Structure 1
Amino acid sequence: MTATEKGPASYFPSIEKKYGRPIAEWKDLIRSSPLTKHMELVNWLKAEHGLGHGHANALVAHTLAEQRTSVEEP
């Protein structure tokens, strides 16, 4: 990741710094959750893991976008 990241990924350095976990770990938590809807996942990260709304939203948006991309690829 570079300093010129845009969109949800631009939050990743501050998420890692503030919450002390690597982004890969957060993404694994999201993928392993039984929840599937964007706002359900955001609210879960906020309630269970203490993330702020913007950080939770960025993680969920990026993770779900990756999952959609991987499903669409042949």
Structure 2
Amino acid sequence: MTTRTVKGPASYFPSIEQRYGRPIEEWKALIRASDLRRHMELVNWLKAEHGLGHGHANALVAHTLAEERG
């Protein structure tokens, strides 16, 4: 049996859920519901409004925007 190592933004997800107490899908829903569309605007919003650290906010935004681009 092979264990996959998660790389990229998703590698932050377990620590984000543990530290901030919300599932990743909830964070993604907040990002999608925001009127903001630019990467750094969303990162700064998550930091200011929800108290996320820069790396965690960046990982969530990068992953969410990549999903939307397909």
Fold match (TM-score > 0.5): yes
Secondary structure of 1:36's match? coil
Residue in structure 2 matched with residue 20 of structure 1 by the alignment: 21
CA distance in structure 1 between the partners assigned to 2:6 and 2:24 by the alignment: 14
Quote the offset at 1:53 in angstroms: 0.0
| 4+ long deviations beyond 3 Å | none
CA distance in structure 2 between the partners assigned to 1:3 and 1:34 by the alignment: 35
CA distance in structure 1 between the partners assigned to 2:26 and 2:4 by the alignment: 21
Secondary structure of 1:25's match? helix
- Alignment RMSD (CA, Å): 1.1
Gaps of 5+ in 1: 70-74
Secondary structure of 2:22's match? coil
Quote the offset at 1:4 in angstroms: 1.1
- How high is the TM-score relative to the length of structure 2? 0.94
Q: Deviations over 1:2-45 (max 9, x none)?
A: 76110000000000000000000000000000000000000000
Count of aligned residue pairs for this structure pair: 68
CA distance in structure 2 between the partners assigned to 1:51 and 1:37 by the alignment: 17
Residue in structure 1 matched with residue 58 of structure 2 by the alignment: 57
Residue in structure 2 matched with residue 72 of structure 1 by the alignment: none
Percent sequence identity over aligned pairs: 82
